[in-house]
């Protein structure tokens, strides 16, 4: 089987469990509104300072397969809910830590997995017991509270949290909860007060010509090309023999005429602006500029799609693909304006149509690159969970309340279970307490005192106040989070913990390319 085989089942389990717990311990101190920051430094000295769990785990250099399973789980949490990445890793680490104690007592891994699975289903079911928040808050108020809760603990909180949260809610409302239609543009310089929400698309680009388009800032037809406006490339195997300088000049003039014809085709379409995914030849830029047509080249595909969604204008591959009618080019109109933000020039695209699909752009400003990057990460999380609350309209009290109530529900249901499986169910309930306890611990409070307090809670509304370490009604104080985030945290942490516990051996596999042991 090769030298990579480890026949010691207990040792293999311990290695995987310890690797997963090490990942959890790395991000544990970042959980909650008073979580600490981490500085990640690479070999070139580039560094990132953040307390965003997803960013920290993405920057980690993880080699152990057990630890990578936990990191992959956090990526799934980020993709599904945009938040809860730190919580899911901390909970998975606690589940494995408690499982390790059960293994030392002689409880079989399958018994632990069965108990964990049953407890997780009970925990998810308990989330339905929370009182509906619609009775106390309007949908807009719920989204605002969700955004404020998501921002809490980020460096962006140092700014006006209410202003930030309202900006997030406005952006999500403009796009009807589709966060993929929200773009964030960050620019160093100024302060956060200079940030703004733009109802449209903002490109980190400028017009290809220094000649100002005649339609700048005015409503005009646009053309979107999913290609460039350059001469066709010569094939490597192609050889052209020219016998005289006259033939060389004719060859060059033929290429020039072809470019001019392409420019004339756009002029005949009555286009006001042309957006191209690839480069544009200078001859075409000059010809179009003489006609007052603005050209923007090398526009990223995501921005092209955003402009298309905003204006309703299809993205064509070639100018020949664009249909004509008796009135000319059948395009949508848009207002395109060039701006200067700091020392960077931007182009904005907006439409005056209430029926158009909403596309919004957040332009963030900050004093340093680190500040702006952290603001962008904070907004990304807040936008994701707010959009989730907008779509699902199903939220729960925060401050650890769902985990506390789920633990209580599991402990009550475990009284009807007999045998060693009950030990696993109780261990799962105890693991859920790690979320509120860690939140309080990161705020400087004693973990044991916090645990004694949360064990007294029997209501789905009550959680822990990180500032005072007192019990609070999370709904009354406005700490709210989407139900989908908590549900995904519980299910993902359980799944990865069970997956690691079921591994009883680590085997070296054959290399795919060399046929040698890996």
pLDDT tens for residues 355-379? Answer: 566 788 888 877 777 777 777 888 8
pLDDT score recorded for residue 359: 81
Query: Which residue out of 26, 55, 86, 335 is catalytically annotated?
Result: 86
- Among the ranges given (33-37, 131-135, 176-180), the one the predictor scored with the smallest mean pLDDT: 131-135
Give φ, ψ of 239 to 5 degrees: -130, 130
Closest CA to 209 of 150, 145, 263: 263
Catalytic pick among 83, 303, 381, 465: 381
Q: How many CB atoms lie within 10 A of CB 323?
A: 10
Q: In the annotation, is 86 catalytic?
A: yes
Q: Give the residue carrying structure tokens 């053309």.
A: 223
- Between CA 454 and CA 465 the distance in angstroms is 11
Task: Give the three-class secondary structure for 113.
Answer: helix
Tens-place pLDDT, residues 241-271: 666 666 666 666 666 667 777 777 777 777 7
Which of the following is catalytic: 26, 30, 50, 52?
Answer: 52
Burial class (CB in 10 A: 0-12, 13-18, 19+), 276: buried
In this predicted structure, the answer to whether residue 328 has a pLDDT above a threshold of 60 is: no
Q: How far apart are CA 114 and CA 94, in angstroms?
A: 17
What residues contact residue 452 under an 8 Å CB cut-off, 6+ apart? none
For residue 288, which of 264, 261, 311 has the smallest C-alpha distance?
264
Q: Is 140 a catalytic residue?
A: no
Q: Are strands 315-316 and 219-225 parallel, antiparallel or unpaired?
A: parallel
* Number of alpha carbons in the 13 Å side-chain half-sphere of residue 508: 11
Average pLDDT over residues 311-321: 79
Give the pLDDT score at 338.
81
| 496 or 2, which is more confident | 496
Query: What is each CA distance from 241 to 244, 252, 296, 461, in whole angstroms?
Result: 9, 13, 36, 83
Give me the chain's average pLDDT, please.
Answer: 79
Would you call 30 a catalytic residue per the annotation? no
Give the whole-angstrom CA distance, residue 231 versus residue 298. 16
Enumerate the H helices of 38-157 as residue ranges: 53-59, 65-81, 85-104, 109-126, 139-151
Is the pLDDT assigned to residue 326 strictly greater than 50? no
85, 122, 361, 450: the active-site residue? 85
pLDDT for 2 equals 40
Residue 496 has pLDDT above 70, yes or no: yes
- How much is the pLDDT for 464? 85
Of 11-15, 132-136, 321-325, give the range with the top mean pLDDT: 11-15
Whether 368 is a known active-site residue: answer: no
Q: Return the higher-pLDDT residue of 13 and 328.
A: 13
């Amino acid at each position: 089987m090769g030298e990579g085989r480890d026949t010691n089942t207990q040792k293999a389990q311990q290695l995987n469990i310890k690797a997963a717990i090490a990942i959890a311990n790395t991000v544990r101190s970042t959980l909650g509104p008073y979580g600490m920051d981490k500085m990640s430094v690479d070999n070139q000295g580039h560094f990132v300072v953040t307390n965003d769990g997803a960013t920290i785990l993405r920057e980690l250099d993880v080699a152990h397969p057990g630890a990578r399973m936990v990191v992959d789980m956090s990526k799934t949490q980020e993709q599904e809910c945009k938040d809860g990445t730190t919580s899911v890793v901390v909970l998975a680490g606690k589940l494995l830590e408690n499982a390790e104690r059960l293994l030392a007592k002689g409880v079989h891994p399958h018994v632990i997995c069965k108990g964990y699975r049953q407890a997780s289903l009970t925990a998810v079911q308990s989330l339905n017991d929370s009182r509906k928040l619609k009775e106390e808050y309007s949908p807009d108020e719920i989204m605002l509270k969700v955004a404020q809760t998501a921002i809490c603990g980020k460096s962006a909180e140092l700014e006006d949290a209410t202003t930030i949260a309202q900006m997030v809610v406005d952006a999500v409302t403009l796009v009807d909860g589709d966060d993929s239609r929200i773009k964030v543009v960050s620019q160093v310089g100024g302060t956060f007060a200079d940030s703004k929400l733009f109802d449209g698309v903002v490109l980190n680009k400028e017009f290809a010509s220094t000649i100002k388009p005649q339609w700048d800032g005015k409503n005009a037809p646009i053309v979107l090309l999913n290609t460039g406006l350059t001469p066709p490339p010569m094939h490597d195997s192609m050889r052209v023999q020219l016998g005289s300088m006259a033939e060389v000049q004719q060859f060059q003039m033929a290429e020039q005429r072809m470019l001019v014809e392409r420019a004339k085709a756009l002029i005949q379409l009555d286009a006001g602006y042309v957006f191209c995914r690839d480069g544009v030849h200078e001859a075409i830029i000059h010809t179009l500029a003489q006609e007052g047509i603005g050209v923007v080249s090398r526009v990223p595909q995501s921005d092209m799609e955003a402009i298309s969604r905003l204006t309703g204008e299809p993205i064509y591959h070639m100018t020949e693909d664009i249909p004509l009618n008796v009135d000319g080019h059948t395009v949508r109109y848009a207002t395109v304006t060039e701006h200067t933000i700091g020392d960077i020039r931007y182009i904005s695209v907006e439409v005056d149509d209430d029926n158009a699909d909403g596309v919004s752009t957040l332009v963030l400003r900050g004093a340093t690159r680190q500040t702006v990057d952290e603001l962008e990460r904070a907004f990304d999380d807040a936008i994701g969970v707010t959009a989730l609350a907008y779509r699902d309209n199903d939220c729960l009290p925060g401050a650890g309340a769902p985990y506390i109530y789920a633990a209580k529900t599991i402990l009550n249901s475990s009284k009807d279970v007999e045998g060693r499986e009950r030990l696993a169910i109780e261990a799962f309930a105890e693991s859920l307490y790690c979320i509120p306890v860690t939140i309080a611990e990161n705020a400087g409070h004693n973990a044991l005192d916090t645990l004694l307090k949360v064990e007294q809670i029997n209501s789905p509304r009550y959680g822990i106040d990180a500032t005072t370490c007192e019990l609070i009604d999370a709904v009354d104080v406005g700490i709210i989070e989407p139900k989908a985030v908590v549900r995904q945290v519980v299910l993902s942490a359980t799944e990865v913990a069970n997956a690691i516990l079921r591994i009883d051996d680590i085997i070296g596999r054959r290399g795919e390319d060399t046929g040698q042991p890996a």
